[in-house]
Amino acid sequence: MLKIEKIQKSFKQKDGSNLQVLKDINLDIKEGEFISLLGPSGCGKSTLLNIIAGLENPSSGSILVEGNEISGAGSDRGVVFQDAALFPWLNVFDNVAFSLKEKGLKKDEVERIAIDNIKKVHLSKFKDSYPHQLSGGMRQRVAIARALAMNPKILLMDEPFGALDEQTRLMLQYELQKIWMETKKTIIFVTHNIREAVQLSDKIVIFGTQPGNVKETFEVKAARPRQMNKGYLVHLEDKILDILKEEIEKVMKEEMGDEYNFEESSLPWDPTRDMGSNI
């Protein structure tokens, strides 16, 4: 239902030169699929997501939703950003109702849909609260409800849980899986956390850097709900890690120049297999 064809993207840099960020990206995403885009920071994941959202134009190539080429943003694609991006002057209800009012729906219709989506993320008690009164996890749930309220076919999520603590992150991963199973949305989920990608996705697209390109695609053939430490998932994590190691080394060599001297298995991986946000 979503076809990404030969997408290339370059940014003009301050010194006038062109920085190629995406190179020949081709993806075919089926209806109802949960896809993760996984790769080290700076490899162009956000750029690709913004292009799919219609917030940015590709240098060449096209994005087709159900056969129609997109032009600009549209309500068939909802976006959840890493920092929630709620409107601070609106309370939870009005944030979620924002797009509905824009569409010009009737008042009772707006109310029904907004309340419905606030319920989906379990925030009914907080519908009159303002963003500054909510925790990071709650804000992210409001952002999800706000995106769902437009009833998009595709939900685009850019490291939505990246800024949350581990506990909250696990909770939200669980809730997101439930929402995905209930609503059957197509979800494109950007992350740099291998475990998160393995836990959530049907398919994992691994990005290489400089310029960003699709390095490899994995299907995750495990039943849901998934529990950690099942042999298959761990094995998959290791395989992905191996592939990404190369990429990370590439980035590090670039950043540190001659000082960088990689020794086998010397990277201090933490148990969550988080590649960190600043690599």
Partner 1 sequence: MIWEVIYRLAIWPQILFPSPLQVWDTLYHGFVGGRFIIALQNSFRRLLIGYAIALGVGTFLGLLIASSKLIDETLGAFILALQSIPSIVWLPLAILWFRMGETAIIFIVVLGGTWNMVMSASTGIKNVDPTLIKAAKTMGVKGYKLFFKVIIPASIPHLITGMRISWAFSWRALMAGELLGSGQGLGQLLMWARELGNMSMVISIMIIIATLGSVTDGLIFKPLENRVLERWGLNSNN
Ligand X SMILES: Nc1ncnc2c1ncn2[C@@H]1O[C@H](COP(=O)(O)OP(=O)(O)O)[C@@H](O)[C@H]1O
CA distance 38 to 208: 9
| CB-CB contact of 127 with 91 (8 Å) | yes
Q: Is residue 46 close enough to count as binding Mg ion by CB under 5 A?
A: yes
Of residues 45 and 141, the one with the C-beta less far from Mg ion: 45
Least distance (Å) between residue 142 CB and partner 1 = 12
Taking CB under 8 A as the criterion, which residues in 150-209 touch partner 1? 150
Eight-class DSSP state of 70: P
Nearer to Mg ion, 114 or 157 (CB): 157
| 41: contact with ligand X by CB under 6 A | yes
C-alpha to C-alpha distances, 66 to 63, 128, 148, nearest whole angstrom: 10, 37, 19
73 belongs to the binding site for partner 1 (CB under 8 A): yes
Contact between 21 and ligand X by CB under 6 A: the answer reads yes
Binding span for ligand X by CB under 6 A among 36-44, 105-113, 135-143, 224-232: 36-44
Q: Answer yes or no: are the C-beta atoms of 273 and 241 closer than 8 Å.
A: yes
Secondary structure of the chain: what % helix, strand, coil (to 5)? 40, 25, 35
Determine which residue in the list 12, 106, 125, 132 makes contact with partner 1, applying CB under 8 A.
Answer: 132
Nearer to partner 1, 50 or 193 (CB): 50
44 contacts ligand X (rule: CB under 6 A): yes
Torsion of Cα atoms, 266 then 201 then 66 then 140, to 10° = -90
Which of 202, 190, 187, 181 is closest to 78 using CA atoms?
Answer: 187
Cα 80 to chain center, whole Å?
Answer: 8
Q: Taken in order 58, 197, 276, 245, is the CA torsion positive or negative?
A: negative
CB of 104 to ligand X, least distance (A): 33
Sole binder of partner 1 in the list 79, 114, 121, 164 (CB under 8 A): 79
Contact residues: ligand X, CB under 6 A: 11, 19, 21, 39, 41-47
Enumerate binding residues for partner 1 (CB under 8 A): 50, 53-55, 72-75, 77-79, 81, 83, 85, 87-89, 98-99, 102-103, 130-132, 146-147, 150
